[in-house]
Amino acid sequence: MKVVVDEEKCVAAGQCVAAAADVFDQREDDGIVVLLNENPPADSADDVRNAAAVCPALAIRIEE
C-alpha cells in the first residue's frame, strides 16, 4: 500500500488524523495534511482506507 495526498485539495478538516494518527498529521499553521508514512504497515491498512473514505476533499489516494 502506498498513500498519496494532494495538499492542494486538503481543506484541513482533520478527519484523516482522527482515523489514522500514525500515518497523517496536520501542519500547525494552516491544518493542511502532512503524510507521516507513505508506506504504512499492513496493520494500519484499514485505518488508512477509512481516512481516505472520510476525507471531505478526497485528498487521499491509496495505491495498492
Q: For position 16, what pLDDT does the model report? A: 98
With contact defined as beta carbons under 8 Å apart, do 1 and 39 qualify? yes
Q: Is the pTM of this model over 0.85?
A: yes
Check residue 54 and give left, alpha or beta (phi > 0: left; psi -120 to 50: alpha): alpha
- Provide the pLDDT for residue 14: 98
At 1-59, the pLDDT tens digits run 999 999 999 999 999 999 999 999 999 999 999 999 999 999 999 999 999 999 999 99
